[in-house]
Structure 1
Amino acid sequence: MRYTKQLLLICFITSLFTTAQSNKISLEDIWSGAFRTERMDALHSMNNGQQYSVLNFDRSSGSTTIDVYDYKTLNKERTLVNSANLDPIKYFTDYTFSDDESQILLATEVESIFRRSTLGKYYVYNTKTKQLELVAEEKIQEPTFSPDGTKLAYGYNNNLFVKDLETGNTQQITFDGEKNKIINGITDWVYEEEFGFVRAFEWNSGSNKIAFVRFDETDVPEFSMDVYGQDLYQTQHVFKYPKAGEANAIVSLHIFDMKAATTAEVKVNKSYTDFYIPRIEWTNNPDVLSAQYMNRHQDELDLWFVNAESNTASLVLEDRDKAYVDVTDNLTFLEDDSFIWTSEKDGFNHIYHYDKTGKLISQITKGNWEVTNYYGFDAKNKTIFYQSTENGSINRDVYSIKLNGRDKTRLSMNTGTNSAAFSADFSYFINTFSSATTAPVYTLNNAKTGKQIKLIKVNTELQNKLKGYLMSEKEFSTIAINGNELNMWMIKPANFDASKSYPLFMFQYSGPGSQSVSNTWNSANDYWYQYLAQKGYIIACVDGRGTGFKGAEFKKVTQKELGKYEVEDQIAAAKKLGTEPYIDASRIGIWGWSYGGFMSSNALFKGNDVFKMAIAVAPVTSWRFYDSIYTERYMTTPQENPSGYDENSPINHVDKLKGDFLLIHGTGDDNVHVQNTMRMVEALIQADKQFEWMIYPDKNHGIYGGNTRLHLYKKMTNFIDKTLGDKL
C-alpha cells in the first residue's frame, strides 16, 4: 500500500507540471542526455537467492566494480571486483559468472561488429585466489563458461576454441572457418539480425560436449558498402547478405565430444531443403540436445530431441501457422525434461506444458490477451512467472500461475509498463515500473504476493527537473478505423485552444508485431514531440493493423501484402483526425524510421490528398532489397509473390508524389542498405519529382555518433517548420 501511495504522489506531482512549467525543451537538451533516466545495470541474481550483483561505474576514477547487495536490506554487502585493483584493466563493461560464481568473465575493449555481435578482450577473475587471467591475446567472440567452470569456449576467426582454465591450454575444435565462407558456432548476419542471437554453440550439462551450428555462406551473394573514413582513399566493407529470394547460408548441426576430440554432424529423420536452425538448447540430460528446425517460409517449426551418443533424433513437437511461427527463447526444461513452450496456436500467445515426448499436458494460460514475456519456472513451488497484456494491450503486468493453470496472481500493482527480474530462488523480484507520467521506478517485491518490500530507485531528480519544463500530457485513446478500434496517443500544445486550428504531425513504425502506442516512460523521441508541441504542433501516433499484442489475426492480416493495410489505416486515421475542428486538414505530415520510413513514404504517395509532407529515415523502398529471413517470413519470396512485393513498395509509386518529401539515410547502414534510398532517388528524378534528402557518411541504421543525432533532428525540425509551420 505504501508503494501505491508513493506512486499516486508522483503522478499527482506530474499532473501539476503545467502549473509550474516555464522552461522550454531544446534539441540540445534532448541529445546531450539532459533527460536521461537512472537505471540498474547488469543486474545478476546470486545463487543463494538472497543477494544480487550490479555493475557500477565510478565517473571520477573511471573504474568499474561488481558490487553485491542484499535483497532484504538493499545494503551493499561487498565488492567482488574493482578494476582499480587490476593492473591490466582500467575498466570493464560487462561481466558473467561461472555457474558456481567462483569465477567472473570480464569484458574489455569491446567493439561492435553488427547490431548484436561484438569483439573484445576478456579476462577470467577468480574470486577465491584473486587471480586474473587473459583468455586470449586476440579479440574474441562470445566466450562462455562450461557448466563445471573448468573450461571456456569462444569464437575466433570463424572457428571455435576451448580454453582449459586449469591448465591454461587452448584447443581449437573447428578448422574450416573462413571469412565470407564458413562460420562455426557464431551466427551469420541475417541470423543475428532476424533471429536475435549471436552465439550458435551450447555446452551440455556434463561440460563434455558442445553443440554448434555451422554456416556455409559460400553461395550467399555479397553486399559491399563504401567506408569513407578519414583517409585519402575510401575502403569497402564486404559481407554476405541474403536478400529476399536469394541463396541463404547452408546450415548444419554438429556435436563436439571433448573426451574423444571428435565432431559428429547431426542428422534428423526428415528431408529439409532450404531450412533454418534458429535455436539449439541442451535438455537436463547431458546426452540429449533440443534443436528447432524451420522451413524457409517459416510457417513450420519442428522441435527435435537429439541423442548425442547414438546420433539419432526424435521429432517431439510441430508448430504450424498459415502465416508464420514466431521463434522465441521461452523453451524451458523441467526436471523430468517435460517442457514449457509458448505458441499463438489458439489465436493469442500463451504458455503450454508438454511431456518429454511432446504430448500436450495442458495449456497453462488462456484468454484474449498476450503473454509478452516468460520469466521462468519455480520448481519448488511449481509456479510460472510471466508478463502479459491482460490489463490492456498498451500496458504490461507481471503474473504468477501454477503449472496446472490455477492460482493466477497479478504481482504488479500499478497500471503502466511493469517488468521483473527474479531472484535465483524466485523468492523476490525487482519490478521496474513506468508509465507515460512516471519515470522508471525500481522496487523489491515478494514473488509470492507481489507486495512491495522496499523502494530501490526512483527517478526523483528527473521528475523534479521536468517540473520546470513546458510539458504536455500524452493522451491515450482509440480511434475507429476500417472496422477496428486502433490504439492511439496524442500530444497537444500545453496552451491548447480548441477554437484554434493546429497542424498535425503523425509518427508510426507499423512493422509486424510492433507497438508504438504503449503506456511507458518517455523515449528521446517523446521529448522531441514535446519540443514540437511547444512550437504549436499536435503530434499523434496510431498503431494500425499488423502491429502486435492484439492477437494473431490482427497482427497477421498483412501477410503477403506488407504496406497495404497498414498504409490504408494511416491514411484513414489522418483523414478522420483532419475532421476535428482543432486540426488543420491542409497541414498533416507523417514520419517514420526503417519500416516506419517505408510507411511514411507510402502514406505520402498513396495518400497525396491527405498528407502534405513526409520524412522517411533509413526506409525500405522495396522489399526486394531487404534480407531473406525477415522479408520472406511475411511475404514469401519475390519469385512466389511478385505482386505483393511491387504493388506496395513506395519506389513504384513515386509518380503520385504531390507534397514535400525528405529522405534520409546513413551510408554505413548494414541493415537497410543505402541502396534503398539511392534507388528511390533515381525513381523520383526520372519521375521529375522534387524532393529533399540528406546522407550521413558511414553512419549505420541508427544514424548516431558525435554531433550526428542533433544535426539529424535539427534537419527534420527545420523541414517540418518549413512545410507545416507556415501559419504558426
Structure 2
Amino acid sequence: MTGQISFPRQHARTQRFTLGAPRAFTVSPDGARIAFLRSRGGTDRANLLWVLDPGSGEERIAADPAALLGGASEELSAEERARRERSREGAAGVVGYAVDEAAELAAFALSGRLFTAELRAGTARELPVPGPVVDPRPSPDGRRVAYVAGGALRVVDADGAADRALAAPNDGERDVTYGLAEFIAAEEMDRARGFWWSPDSESLLVARVDESPVQRWWISDPTHPNRAPQEVAYPAAGTANADVRLLLVGLDGSRTEVEWDRAAYPYLARVHWSPAGPPLLLVQARNQRDQLYLTVDTGTGRTRMLHADEDPVWLDLFPGVPAWTPDGRLVRIADEGGARVLVVGARPLTGPQLHVRAVLDVSADDVLISASAGPEAEDPGTGEIHVHRVNELGIERLSEGRGVHSAVRCGSVLVLSSASLESSGATARVLNDGKAVTVVPSYAEKPVLTAAPRLVRAGARRIPCAVLLPTGHREEDGPLPVLMDPYGGPHGQRVVAAHNAHLTSQWFADQGFAVVVADGRGTPGQSPGWEKAVAHNLAGVTLEDQVEALQALAADHPLDVTRVAIRGWSYGGYLAALAVLRRPDVFHAGVVGAPVTDQRLYDTHYTERYLGHPDEHGEVYDANSVVTSGGLSGAAETHRPMMIIHGLADDNVLAAHTLRLSSALLAAGRPHEVLPLSGVTHMTPQEQVAENLLLLQVDFLKRSLGMARD
C-alpha cells in the first residue's frame, strides 16, 4: 500500500485539476494591476479575487469569501444556480466578477449579496441592497453598480447609497425579467449577460425577457416524493422561444425600446457598446442562415444595418465579435472561400492558413485573435491553438511551442496562458511589450498519472485522433481491446495538444485498453466545411467518422478490432448509443452518458441549426434520433451491452431522453443497464459520484468485452 490517492478520486476532488489554477484575468489600462481568480489550493473550491502587480510580481488578496461571509456556508439562489449550470461552473466563492473601465473597482456576488472590492487598496465591502443579487457590474466611471434582483435591473451608488430599480416587471408580468440572459442565449449562444453600460455611465442597454410563450416542463426528484417538481421553461425544437426585447434605460428614468425586425431576426446574439462607436447588435434569424449587424441610435432606438451575413447551411457565433476598432471599423469573423477569417471593415486580414476561433482584443494597432491551423496551412499542428496579432501589415504569432494558448491583453500588458502535452496544467505568463516579466503561480495539483497521447490524423479524411496505450505497453504485448472515447460533435474538440485534456483517457488506457479519441466531421477547429458537413445528418456523419478512424488506426496501432467499446457523455453519449445500435458489427459495448436520444426534446437554437425546423424536416429528426415514436430507429438485429447513465436533475438534456431509450430497448427485448444519478445535473461535480462513475464504467466495459476484472 503506497497511500497514494487514486486517479478517479483525485480527478473528482480537484474538479478535473482546475481548482487552484488562476483564471478570469483582467488587465488594467495603466498596466499596473492584473485581477484574477484562484482558490488557495488544488482541492479548495472557493475562489478568491487576487490582484497582481506585474512589475514586482507581488500578489495580494482583494476579496476573500470566507472573511466576507464570516465563515458562513455559501447559499445560492435559483437564478445563480441556473447561471452556473449554463456556464458549467463547479467552483465556489468568487466565480465571476466585473470591473470598471480603469479596473479599480470590482463587483461580485456571494450568497446572493453584493460586494465590491477596491483593487488598488485591496479592500472589499458589502453593499446593503435587496437580493438575491445576480451579475453585478460597475459603471465604466466606477461611481455605480448595476445588478439584477427579483427579475429587476437595479442600480446603486458605489458607496451603497441611492439603490433603486431602473427596470422591473409589473405585477402581471410573472414571466418577465430585466437584465438576465434567457436559457437559449446562455446555453447555446455564449451570451451569459443581459445588460450593458454605456461608455458615459449614464444609461444601459437592458434585455427584457418574457418567457410566457415558452412551454413548461417539470423536473422532479424521485428520491424526495414529498417535494413539488421544479417548473422549467424549456424551448424544445420547433416550439416557441422567449420573447426578447432590448431597452435603452437612462439613469434619469428615461426608457426607449430598441427597434429591429424581431419577427425576422428573433435571436439577440450579441451586444457590444464601447467608446469607439454606437451600440452594436448581432441579431439572427431563427433558421440561423441569416444575420444582421446593426447600430443603434441612442436618441430614438432605431437601428441601422451595417452588414448582413447569409449562409446556405448555418452561421456560427464567435467570442469577441462584433466589435469596433478605435477608429470605428467593424470587426467580425466570417466564413469566406472555405476558410474562417478575420474581417476588419470591408477587408479580410487573414486567409486559409488560419482558422480564426475568437477575437481576444482590439487596439489601435492590431487585433489579437485565437486561431488554429487553417485548411491550407503548411503545418496542420494537430490540436494546437495559438495567439496571433493581426493588422494590415501581416500576421504575427505570439504564442510559442506546441500547445493550446489563449491570452488577455490591455495596452502593452498581456497575460498568455499556455498548456502543452509535455507538462500538466497551464502556465500563465505576463508579458509587457513582448518581454516576460512574471508568472502567475498555479496551485493546481499535479496528477498522479502522466498522459502520453499520440496525436495523429487517420483515414482518407485525415481525422484528428489521439491514441493512448497503457503506461509501459510494449509492442510484443500484442493488440489491446479498444475504447473509443469521443465527444465527436459540434463545439466539442477533444483532440488538443494539452496534457490534462487526456488524463481520463490515459487512466482508461491504464486499465488495459487502447483508447482512441477521434474528432470527426462536425467538431470545431478544422474548417467551416468540416463543421458543416453534419447538416441534417448528425447521426450518419459523426458515426461514420468514428468507424473510419478506428479502422484506419488499426493498420499501425495495436488495436484488437474484435473487442471495441465506446463511451461518451452528452453528444458523446448520443454517439455511443448510435454506435452500439447501428454498428454492432464494429462496436461491442457502449457506455451512454446523458444522451440526447430524441432530437425533438432538445432546444431550439442548437437542434434547429443542424437539423432544421421539425415541422419542415420531420424525417430528418426521425433519422437522427436514437428512438422515435415507433421504437428503435435504424437499429441492427445484433444486441450489444449498453450502460446508460443520466442525472435526474439535468435541466439541459432531461432524463426523459434516457427513459425513452430504456423503454424502447425494453419493448424491443434488448438487455441494457440504467444508472440513474439522483440530484445530479448535466455536470457531475459531486466527488463521490464522479469517482464511482469512472470505476463502474471500467467494470462494465471489462465485463462486456470479456476482460479480466480486478
Q: TM-score, normalised by structure 1?
A: 0.85
Measured against aligned partners, the alpha-carbon deviations of 1:449-470 in whole angstroms (never above 9, x if no partner) come to 4x544455478973xx75xx5x
The higher radius of gyration belongs to 1
**Corresponding residue of 2:139:** 146
How far off its partner does 1:41 sit?
3.8
* Offset at residue 369 of structure 1 (A): 2.6
**Structure 1 position 501 matched with structure 2 position 479:** yes
Structure 2 counterpart of 1:124, from 106, 116, 138: 116
- Check 1:676–1:150 CA distance in 2 against 1; reply closer, same or farther (3 A cut): same
| Alignment match, 2:397 | 410
Q: Counterparts in 2 of 1:219-618, with a 5 A limit?
A: 219-228=213-222, 233-259=226-252, 261-268=253-260, 270=261, 272-273=263-264, 275-284=266-275, 288-328=278-318, 329-354=320-345, 360=346, 362-379=347-364, 382-390=365-373, 392-402=381-391, 404=392, 406-422=393-409, 424-425=410-411, 427-442=412-427, 444=429, 446=431, 448-449=433-434, 451-457=435-441, 462=446, 466=448, 471=450, 473-480=452-459, 483-499=460-476, 500-523=478-501, 526-578=502-554, 582-618=558-594
CA contact (8 A) 2:236 2:600 kept: yes
Q: 1:630 to 1:180 in 2, by over 3 A?
A: farther
Instruction: Provide the rounded CA distance (Å) in 1 between the counterparts of 2:45 and 2:518.
Output: 44
Cα RMSD between the aligned structures?
3.1
**What is the CA–CA distance in structure 2 between the aligned matches of 1:193 and 1:63, rounded to whole Å?**
24
**Which ranges in structure 1 are unaligned for 5 or more consecutive residues?**
1-20, 110-119, 355-359
Shift of 1:346: 3.1
Report the Cα distance in structure 1 between the residues aligned to 2:269 and 2:542, rounded to whole angstroms.
28
Inter-partner Cα distance in structure 1 for 2:156 and 2:454? 56
- Say yes or no: does 1:40 pair with 2:34: no
Q: Which digits, 9 at most, give the CA deviation of each residue in 1:635-673, with x for residues without a partner?
A: 111111112111132222356452111111011000001
Query: What is the alpha-carbon distance in structure 2 between the residues aligned to residue 373 and residue 61 of structure 1?
Result: 31
| Residue type of the alignment partner of 2:187 | E
SS of residue matched to 2:106: strand
Q: Secondary structure of the residue that 1:484 maps to in structure 2?
A: coil
Q: One-letter code of the match for 1:493?
A: P
Give the distance between the partners of 1:532 and 1:89, measured in 2 at CA.
39
Change (3 A) 1:618 1:81: closer
1:200–1:31 CA distance, 2 compared to 1 (3 A): closer
Q: Deviations over 1:374-430 (max 9, x none)?
A: 221232xx122222213524101222222x1x14222122111122222x21x2322
Q: Which amino acid in the other structure matches residue 419 of structure 1?
A: S
Alpha carbons 2:256, 2:300 under 8 Å: kept: no
Cα shift readout 1:278-306 (whole Å, capped 9, x = no counterpart)? 112224268x3222211000111101111
TM superposition score normalised by structure 2: 0.87
1:182 to 176, 194, 207: 176
* Aligned match of 2:204: 210
Identify which range, 307-316 or 611-620, moves more after superposition.
307-316
Q: CA deviation at 1:153?
A: 1.8
| Aligned match of 1:699 | 680
Residue 366 to residue 30, structure 1, CA distance change in 2 (3 Å): same
Distance 2:333 2:602 in 1: 28
Letter in 2 for 1:145: P
Work out the CA distance in 2 between the residues paired with 1:698 and 1:271. 38
Counterpart for residue 15 of structure 1: none
Does structure 2 conserve the Cα–Cα contact (< 8 Å) formed by 1:353 and 1:364?
A: yes
**Cα distance 1:97–1:455, how it changes in 2: closer, same or farther (>3 A)?**
closer
1:29-51 per-residue CA deviation (whole Å, 9 max, x = no partner) reads: 43343983652244332232133
**Cα 1:378–1:228, aligned 2, differ >3 Å: closer, same or farther?**
same
Residue of 621, 634, 641 corresponding to 2:610: 634
Q: C-alpha offsets along residues 550-606 of structure 1, whole Å, 9 cap, x if unaligned?
A: 111111011122111111111233344455683222210111110111111111111
CA 1:710/1:281 → structure 2, altered by over 3 Å: closer, same or farther? same
- Contact 1:371-1:389 within 8 A present in 2 as well: yes
Render the CA deviation track for 1:604-640: whole Å, top value 9, x for unaligned. 1111111110111000002111000110111111111
Between the aligned partners of 2:509 and 2:348, the Cα distance in structure 1 is 47
Please say if residues 646 and 676 of structure 2, whose CA atoms lie closer than 8 Å, have aligned partners that are also in contact: yes
- Separation in 2, partners of 1:527, 1:167: 47
- The residue that corresponds to 2:85 in the other structure is none
Amino acid at match of 1:162: V
User: Taking structure 1 as reference, are residues 484 and 227 closer, same or farther at Cα in structure 2, changes over 3 Å only?
Assistant: same
The whole-number CA distance in structure 1 between the counterparts of 2:420 and 2:667 is 47
Match for residue 8 of structure 1? none
Aligned length: 671
1:116 is aligned to: none
Residue 721 of structure 1 aligns to a residue whose secondary structure is helix
Distance 2:511 2:458 in 1: 25
Given that 2:483 and 2:564 are in contact with CA atoms closer than 8 Å, whether structure 1 keeps it comes out as yes
Pairwise CA distance, 1:679: 0.6
Instruction: Answer with 491-500 or 557-566: which moved more.
Output: 491-500
3-state SS, counterpart of residue 308 of structure 1: coil
Summarize the Cα distance change of 1:507–1:180 in structure 2 as closer, same or farther, 3 Å threshold.
Answer: farther
Whole-angstrom CA distance in 1 between matches of 2:359 and 2:702: 44
CA distance in 1, matches of 2:643, 2:496: 27
Query: Is the alpha carbon distance of 1:228 and 1:475 closer, same or farther for their aligned partners in structure 2, counting shifts above 3 Å?
Result: same
User: 2:701 aligned with 1:723, yes or no?
Assistant: no
Q: Tell whether the 8 Å contact from 2:645 to 2:674 is kept in structure 1 after alignment.
A: yes
Q: In 1, are the aligned partners of 2:382 and 2:456 still within 8 Å (CA)?
A: no
**Distance change >3 Å, CA 384–CA 129, structure 1 → 2:** closer
**Structure 1 pair 26–275 and aligned structure 2 pair: CA distance change class (3 A):** closer
1:194 correspondence with 2:188: yes
Aligned amino acid, residue 27 of structure 2: S
Q: 1:577 to 1:138 in 2, by over 3 A?
A: same
The letter of the residue matching 2:209 is F
1:334-376 per-residue CA deviation (whole Å, 9 max, x = no partner) reads 233222111123322221111xxxxx1x211112431123221
Matches for 1:632-671 after TM superposition, within 5 Å: 632-651=608-627, 652-654=633-635, 656-671=637-652
Q: Distance in 1 between matches of 2:597 and 2:674?
A: 14
Query: Which of 49, 52, 57 does residue 31 from structure 2 map onto?
Result: 49
**Separation (CA, whole Å) in 2 of partners of 1:57 and 1:596:** 31
* 2:425–2:444 CA contact under 8 A, matched in 1: no
Matched residues, percent identical?
A: 22
User: Is residue 98 of structure 1 aligned with residue 81 of structure 2?
Assistant: no
Q: Quick one: structure 1 residues 222 and 522, their matched pair in 2 at CA, closer, same or farther if it must change by over 3 Å?
A: same
Match of 2:79 in 1: none
The residue type equivalent to 1:43 in the other structure is F
How much has 1:57 moved relative to structure 2?
4.8
Deviation track 1:433-486 (CA, whole Å, cap 9, x = no partner) reads 22222223525354654x544455478973xx75xx5x5621111111xx4111
Alignment-mate amino acid for residue 313 of structure 2: A
Inter-CA distance 85–575: structure 2 relative to 1 (3 Å threshold): closer
What CA deviation, in whole Å up to 9, does each residue of 1:97-140 have, x standing for no partner? Answer: 3334443324312xxxxxxxxxx211234567968342424212
Assess, with a 3 A threshold, how the Cα gap between structure 1 residues 44 and 271 changes in structure 2: closer, same or farther: closer
Shift of residue 95 of structure 1? 4.0
